[in-house]
Amino acid sequence: MSSARLRIRWYGHSTFLVHTPGGVRVLFDPWFTDNPACPPGLKRPPAVDLILVSHGHADHIGDLVPAARDSGAPVVGGFELCDWLGRKGIANVHAMNKGGSQTVAGLRVTMTDARHSSGFTDNGQMIYMGEPAGYIVGLENGLTLYYAGDTCLFGDMHLIGEMYRPDIAFLPIGDRFTMDPAAAAKACELLGVRQVVPMHWGTFPVLTGTPGALRALVEPKGVQVLELKPGETAE
Ligand code: NI
Ligand code: MN
């Protein structure tokens, strides 16, 4: 089952299913069940070939265990998060750390920095889930994606741009827990991307950043904002 085009489906918040031009289905930060933005008909984890996880907050791994178990797909995440996943009975884990790359499901995946925190409440205890991360993913057609995870703006995004030349960036814009649209606009500039997919907005009232605010800042500079509705797929 392959398709020549890149397809991106948003489940709301930071959960995306990316269907690569080579036919690999990549799931980012699976959160369906308790995700208020996820359409009712899409609450079940989809069939996928690869799962990438940015950090251990519940709004990013809420459905990671069932998604990994049901699909059997390899899961890429930080060392501590993968250790936790292993203790949940998930065996197909491919732990890594920042700066490292590996080829999984035929895709070259590099773990980047992200500035945030990472912990998960399990049986009433806050468990340390390692450092939060982002990902660079090289696609079969030469396009490069950058999925920032949850992060503030940081100057080394310039280095990520210089080193990996991402074409499309998935950036949080909701404010409060991550960047706001103004910071995300600066991130687009540092990264040198031509297209940006806003995420981590609109899920809760406190996430006030909007794609419109981002668009007003970046479109005059030639950056396209790919605004999706939850459940919608962009090509
Ligand atoms: Ni978070
Ligand atoms: Mn989050």
pLDDT tens, residue by residue, 109-154 = 999 999 999 999 998 999 999 999 999 999 999 999 999 999 999 9
Residue 234 lies in a domain: no
| Sequence-ordered strand ranges (E) for 89-211 | 93-96, 101-104, 107-113, 119-122, 125-128, 133-138, 144-147, 168-172, 195-199
Ligand 1 mean position, distance from CA 49 (Å): 24
Q: Domain of 144?
A: 7-227
188, containing H or E segment: helix 181-191
**CA of 174, nearest ligand number:** 2
**CA of 204, nearest ligand number:** 2
Residue 232 lies in a domain: no
Over residues 161-187, the mean pLDDT reads 98
Residue 205 lies in a domain: yes
Ligand 1 mean position, distance from CA 121 (Å): 13
CATH number of the domain that residue 100 is part of: 3.60.15.10
Report which DSSP code applies to 178: S
Residue 2 has pLDDT above 70, yes or no: no
Residue 98 lies in a domain: yes
Geometric angle at alpha carbon 188, from 185 and 190, rounded to 5°:
110
Ligand 2 mean position, distance from CA 207 (Å): 10
Q: Which residues surround ligand 2, an ion (CB under 5 A)?
A: 57, 59, 150
Residue 193 lies in a domain: yes
Ligand 1 mean position, distance from CA 60 (Å): 7
- Evaluate if pTM is beyond 0.95: yes
Total structural domains within the chain:
1
